[in-house]
Amino acid sequence: MCGIVGYIGTKKATPILIDGLLKLEYRGYDSAGISTLEGTGISNIKETGRVKNLSESAGISDLSGTIGIAHTRWATHGKPSRENSHPHLDNSKTFAVVHNGIIENYSELRKFLTDNGYTFYSQTDTEVIPNLIHYYYSKDEKDDSEKFLRAVRTACNDLKGSYAISVISKLYPDEMIVSRKDSPLVIGLGNNENYIASDIPAILSYTKDIYLLDDYDIAELHNNSISFFDKNLNKIEKAAKNIEWDASSVEKDGFDDYMIKEIYEQPRTIRETISSHLKKDEPCEFPELNITKEYLSGINKIFFVACGTAMHAGLASRNTFEKLLSIPTEVDIASEFRYRNPLIDEKTLMVFISQSGETADTLAALALAKQKGAKTVAVSNVIGSSITREADYTVYTHAGPEIAVASTKAYTSQVVLLNILAIHFAEILGSYDATKLNTFKNEILELPEKVKSLLDNTDTIKKFATDIHNEHDIFFLGRGFDYPVALEASLKLKEISYIHSDAYAAGELKHGPIALIEDGITVIGTITDPNLKDKTISNIQEVITRGAKTFIVTNQDIKKENYNFVFDIPETNPLVSPILSIVPLQLLSYYVAKDKGLDVDKPRNLAKSVTVE
Ligand code: F6R
């Protein structure tokens, strides 16, 4: 959702800040703003709409300050407007603040400040922060070098809710203060310059040495130093982490959009995810997990909890866990999970799947699981994200930064990783035939090549996309392992093409949805499980009889002449077929959206990481 970038150094801050904001555009936003220190004051420029509007705004090219903060806002309190966009200044224009998160007690704080003579010019929760800082700064009689830091700390102590903030002040022309609680913030170490950002991709082309802040940590940045303090302003030490992500991974590399680039990256991202845990003829390895045979033998349930595509990755992997481990495995939507008093205890293994690691509902579900004493594992793509700090253990997908709002490469990495995790547990428990397990491992090792072969052959998909791009309703069907694929394909299509679509377990069709099938309607089916093939074919026959136009993704021997379009995928173990069958359907949504002339990377109303519940 909102994005933060900051720079302190010797170069002109504005181009670096604008570049960082552009790298964060994928998160979704509706306005953008920038503050730099210029001479003896703070310059503050904001625009609604795209970062491009801000970069072309009057006066922006005159900014020459070498310290600045910038922000992309996704409206929560107050409509998208210049007044409501960040940075926000206090009444005396001494402090400028950018903020991600939500201040839950902002009405109380606003009242307190209004009673003390402050005026508010926006409807945001954020505007209380610079004014509170000013309030505490002016009340502090001690005039030492920590006065600015102290004012920010004391103001933060009053905030309830979540925040990642960065503050600059005209009184401190070579200093920036940052702090966080429940919202991400990283600091990038440079050479005689330092950076801050809500997300690593914003600053990856400047530095790969990143400090991660813990909740309530506060940091004081200068050109050539960074000092860290805890909640009580005791100095603490932190070590920078070197981030392996390649700076070019946040560029489009000649592709038209990030989404298509990320779809084409999948052979590599799947390979990298596999190779971290699985090598030919060796037991799987998860050194980051300390899960013993004794523990696994004692658990009564495994639970996957996540949202959206990540939840579909859980659905696509559940059967593997049940088959290899014979342990009941459930999947739930994070926003529902905690409101149904879930039956979990210390014998439940809870797996939370989140690409960004910042999804508010998933984090809240994780907190509940911990309260109930369950062991928690995070599956995340972002090093140091909130979920990785909260869970007992973390395993990382190695998908690299995913910029397009619609998740593609993160999904396939999640499904691959979860399948390998199931094998790892089966090896610990000895719960599945070793020879069959070995064959399954070899099939996983072949996946990158198989995905590559799919991507080399996209003509049918492009043709079919053009054929359907003006439609209003599309149905996806699948049974067994093909059902989560139908759900995920349908989600992908609606989020980027804005075509209404529904996904059904093929056997459910005649219990209601078949009433919607009429002449010419498009039905997309996936058939990859030999045991369910005949049944799915019968269900698809039922829609053909009622006039449906069909597109089938399959690796089974079917009578192709019965369908309008057929896309062949390589054979594989049905347990991992969702990794192959989703790829042509990702491409289908991409080409449909392109045919409609839509912005595939930034679909309307959506944000890349959903940090509100
Ligand atoms: C869909 C999509 C979303 C996310 C969901 C969870 O393409 O990207 O449905 O999967 O918002 O996000 P994470 O995985 O970051 O928790």
Q: Note the pLDDT tens digit of each residue in 55-93.
A: 999 999 999 999 999 999 988 788 889 999 999 999 999
SS3 string, 130-174, reads: HHHHHHHHHHCCCCCCCHHHHHHHHHHHCCCECEEEEEEECCEEE
Q: How far is the CA of 304 from the centre of ligand 1 (A)?
A: 14
Determine the pLDDT at residue 67: 98
Residue 486 has pLDDT above 70, yes or no: yes
Residues recorded for the chain: 613
Identify the residue whose tokens are 């072949």: 446
The fraction of the chain above a pLDDT of 90, given in percent, is: 85
Average pLDDT (113-122) is 97
Catalytic residue, candidates 261, 549, 594, 608: 608
Query: How far apart are alpha carbons 160 and 496 in whole angstroms?
Result: 35
Q: Give residue-wise pLDDT tens across range 545-584.
A: 999 999 999 999 999 999 999 999 999 999 999 999 999 9
Atom of ligand 1 nearest to the CA of 387: 16
Confidence of residue 101 (pLDDT cuts 50, 70, 90): confident
Determine the pLDDT at residue 468: 96
Q: How far is the CA of 608 from the centre of ligand 1 (A)?
A: 7
Q: How far is the CA of 586 from the centre of ligand 1 (A)?
A: 15
Instruction: Assign 367 to helix, strand or coil.
Output: helix
Determine the pLDDT at residue 401: 86
The residues with which 32 forms a beta bridge, in sequence order, are: 47, 72
Residue 189 has pLDDT above 70, yes or no: yes
12 is annotated as an active-site residue: no
Contact 41, 93 (CB under 8 A): yes
610 lines ligand 1 (CB under 6 A): yes
Contact 279, 382 (CB under 8 A): no
Average pLDDT (13-40) is 91
The H or E element spanning position 4 is strand 3-8
Average pLDDT (358-371) is 95
Antiparallel, parallel or unpaired: β 226-229 and 235-236: antiparallel
Q: Give residue-wise pLDDT tens across range 393-415.
A: 999 998 988 989 999 999 999 99
What angle in degrees, to the nearest 10, is found between the helix axes of 308-325 and 409-429? 20
Q: Give residue-wise pLDDT tens across range 304-323.
A: 999 999 999 999 999 999 99
Determine the pLDDT at residue 29: 80
Contact 612, 102 (CB under 8 A): yes
Confidence of residue 613 (pLDDT cuts 50, 70, 90): confident
Residue 250 has pLDDT above 80, yes or no: no
SS3 string, 51-92, reads: HHHHHCCCCHHHCCCCEEEEEEECCCCCCCCCCCCCCEECCC
Query: How far apart are alpha carbons 140 and 144 in whole angstroms?
Result: 10
Average pLDDT (418-435) is 97
308 lines ligand 1 (CB under 6 A): yes
Q: Give residue-wise pLDDT tens across range 254-300.
A: 799 999 999 999 999 999 999 989 999 999 999 999 899 999 999 99
| Residues near 165 by beta carbon (within 8 Å), at least 6 away in sequence | 97, 98, 99, 100, 129, 152, 156, 178, 179, 180
284 is annotated as an active-site residue: no
| Mutation probe of ligand 1 site: the residue of 198, 356, 487, 602 with most atoms within 8 A of C-beta | 356
Query: How far apart are alpha carbons 147 and 107 in whole angstroms?
Result: 26
Average pLDDT (482-499) is 97
Which tokens sit at 128? 């209380």
| Mutation probe of ligand 1 site: the residue of 258, 353, 355 with most atoms within 8 A of C-beta | 355
How does the average pLDDT of the chain come out, rounded? 94
Determine the pLDDT at residue 1: 64
Residue 418 has pLDDT above 70, yes or no: yes
Q: Give residue-wise pLDDT tens across range 434-471.
A: 999 999 999 999 999 999 999 988 999 999 999 999 99
495 lines ligand 1 (CB under 6 A): yes
Q: Is the pTM of this model over 0.75?
A: yes
Contact 556, 528 (CB under 8 A): yes
Residue 184 has pLDDT above 80, yes or no: yes
| Mutation probe of ligand 1 site: the residue of 610, 611, 612, 613 with most atoms within 8 A of C-beta | 610
Query: How far apart are alpha carbons 264 and 527 in whole angstroms?
Result: 23
Atom of ligand 1 nearest to the CA of 405: 8
Residue 246 has pLDDT above 80, yes or no: no
HSE-CB for 130 with a 13 A CA cutoff: 27
